[in-house]
Amino acid sequence: MTVNLLTFVDVPQKRPDKRAADLRSADFEEIFNEFVPERAGEQAARCSQCGIPFCQVHCPLHNNIPDWLKLTAEGRLEEAYELAAATNTFPEICGRICPQDRLCEGNCVIEKGFESVTIGAVERYITETAFKNGWVSGPQPREERSQSIGIIGGGPAGLAAADVMRRYGYQVEVYDRHDRIGGLLIYGIPSFKLEKDIVERRADLLAASGVVFHTSTEIGRDISFGDLQARHDAVLIATGVYGARDIKVPGVGLDGVVDALDYLIASNRNGLGDAVPDFDSGMLDAAGKHVVVIGGGDTAMDCVRTAARQGAKAVTCLYRRDRNNMPGSQREVSYAMEEGVRFEFLSAPEAFLGDGTVEAVRAVKMRLGEPDETGRLKSQIVTGSDHNIEADLVLKALGFDPEPVAEVFELPALDVTRWGTVKTRMLTGETSLPGVYAAGDIVRGASLVVWAIRDGRDAAEAMHRELETRAEQNAPIRAAG
Ligand code: FAD
Ligand code: SF4
Ligand code: SF4
């Protein structure tokens, strides 16, 4: 089939249809509809097939984007899927929730002047088409190997590693303290960005291919790290980061001032049909409340948009810098604005006011000054600018730090960085302990799903190389304690 490529001069960018803000903020379903097939091909054909594709350079997985766009434009969707799946374990997930404006699409050369190719939406389309047509399968090892791998954490890093190792034929067991597999894909990210059956479908494929999941099993509590090492030939730490940063202002201990992730987990569990006492009692439900969210990252955006969907009376986001300096995706900010969220940029909380339960946030205005040592502009308080914002639920979304992993796992010889993340060799995930690897947020600090996938894949390749070498040398293969 002959198709016209490089059509970006004549064909405008069109994303899949976005549901109207008043409709979508009344439910938790994803906000974008699927591309219709003609639209996907038409949009893929806008790609100018660059000799040096900057989209690919800036994709953490270095996806072969121009080639799968070309195949999509030509209607060769099965091949497009195979190519997309060759470098990305979960293309349908990245297509939905990567901050494409900061990664592939933000670096697409036609962005300047013609608006980027809709790479994420095409990646999602290709993979959803593959699922519909039965082209997607779990890992299918050509041979079984007797060596086994223990993975702590069933988030994207752990699952990406499980997929690669199972393909090689290793016996793979994943341990997670939660009762479902998926990590933040299930319990952090709201379903209006990523519906839960999308994640469950992948976990089911891995289970069907022989990956064993031990849910509700916390390493360091239910099983010691030492016991895990005795069970497996190599161990991967993919435990993410969960230490919520706090705000040191008066009133932070009042009822109704809660951590963002506790709130999001309650909302996600409620959506999954679980009994959630703190949600059912109204404590973690924003319905009918004045909600104030502190922070400007992806977690803050998920909170404001969840509160809007739960039927909050008013939702305000307080962020100490301006819009251009927000760490999260600008697209998410626009969606939140469309959904009725009020933003107070250059504002910070000075105190939480109330008698036992929060009733208001006293906020002050900030101005941006000189850059600090990291290059970010320092924010300074504008004197006399304090004002009260009514609030009966305050959500603290200030980021996450790692739990003290060496202590939790009783591994004094495990090297960690000064930020508490696990120190690894670049591109291999090898830690200071033989046979012990690490991947994802526990290595990078709070990051992105696509980086977790990349790290999980890299660590798995390195584990495979080590296990093969040890087997060839007849060296003891169990992870050293
Ligand atoms: P996680 O996904 O955190 O998984 C770690 C798993 O380890 C968890 O299931 C945990 O239960 C388990 N675990 C921890 N300790 C133990 C133990 N001792 N024993 C057993 N199991 C254990 N990224 C994006 O790319 N796009 C987004 O839109 C986006 N939105 C986000 C929204 C929110 C609210 C948050 C919090 C993060 C968001 N992120 C987003 C970031 C992304 O979710 C993370 O970067 C990614 O999930 C990290 O993957 P991981 O596998 O390293 O860790
Ligand atoms: Fe873009 Fe993410 Fe897909 Fe890479 S994985 S092409 S960054 S959407
Ligand atoms: Fe196509 Fe844009 Fe990538 Fe160039 S940068 S190959 S135009 S998607």
Q: Is 95 in the pocket of ligand 1 (CB under 6 A)?
A: no
Q: How far apart are CA 119 and CA 70, in angstroms?
A: 12
| Closest to 209 in 3D by CA, of 169, 182, 161 | 169
Assigned CATH for 244-399 = 3.50.50.60
- 92, 198 Cβ separation under 8 angstroms: yes
Quote the DSSP letter at residue 273: T
- 50, 64 Cβ separation under 8 angstroms: no
List b or e across 463-481, with b for residues whose CB sees 16 or more CB atoms inside 10 angstroms: bbebbeebeeeeeebebee
What number of other Cβ atoms are within 10 A of residue 181's Cβ?
A: 26
Ligand nearest to the CA of 123: 2
**pLDDT tens by residue, the chain, 481 residues:** 667 778 888 899 999 999 999 999 999 999 998 888 889 999 999 999 999 999 999 999 999 999 999 999 999 999 999 999 999 999 999 999 999 999 999 999 987 778 999 999 999 999 999 999 999 999 999 999 999 999 999 999 999 999 999 999 999 999 999 999 999 999 999 999 999 999 999 999 999 999 999 999 999 999 999 999 999 999 999 999 999 999 999 999 999 999 999 999 999 999 999 999 999 999 999 999 999 999 999 999 999 999 999 999 999 999 999 999 898 888 999 999 999 999 999 999 999 999 999 999 999 999 998 888 878 788 899 999 999 999 999 999 999 999 999 999 999 999 999 999 999 999 999 999 999 999 999 999 999 999 999 999 999 999 999 999 988 887 765 665 5
Residue type present at position 323: R
Q: How far apart are CA 352 and CA 245, in angstroms?
A: 17
Q: How far apart are CA 326 and CA 261, in angstroms?
A: 19
Mutate to test the pocket of ligand 3, among 55, 101, 104 (most ligand atoms within 8 A of CB): 55
Class of domain 148-241+402-472: alpha beta
**Tell me, what's the pLDDT at 113?**
79
Ligand 2 center–CA 124 separation, angstroms? 10
**Tell me, what's the pLDDT at 386?**
96
- 400, 243 Cβ separation under 8 angstroms: yes
- 467, 147 Cβ separation under 8 angstroms: yes
Phi-psi region of 346 (alpha: psi -120 to 50; beta: other; left: phi over 0): left
User: Which numbered atom of ligand 3 lies nearest the CA of 116?
Assistant: 2
State which H helix or E strand residue 176 sits in. none
Mutate to test the pocket of ligand 2, among 68, 119, 453 (most ligand atoms within 8 A of CB): 119
Q: Is 293 in the pocket of ligand 2 (CB under 6 A)?
A: no
**Tell me, what's the pLDDT at 7?**
86
CATH topology match: 148-241+402-472 vs 244-399: yes
Quote the DSSP letter at residue 71: H
**Tell me, what's the pLDDT at 477?**
59
- 103, 450 Cβ separation under 8 angstroms: yes
The model carries a pTM of 0.96
Q: How far apart are CA 99 and CA 60, in angstroms?
A: 12
Quote the DSSP letter at residue 479: P
**Tell me, what's the pLDDT at 1?**
60
Ligand 2 center–CA 330 separation, angstroms? 16
Ligand 2 center–CA 232 separation, angstroms? 33
Quote the tokens at residue 383.
């004197």
Q: How far apart are CA 60 and CA 455, in angstroms?
A: 10
Helices and strands (H, E) in the chain, number of each type: 19, 16
**What are the residue boundaries of the structural domains of the chain, listed by start?**
7-132, 148-241+402-472, 244-399
What number of other Cβ atoms are within 10 A of residue 136's Cβ?
A: 18
The answer as to CATH 1.10.10.1100 being correct for domain 7-132 is no
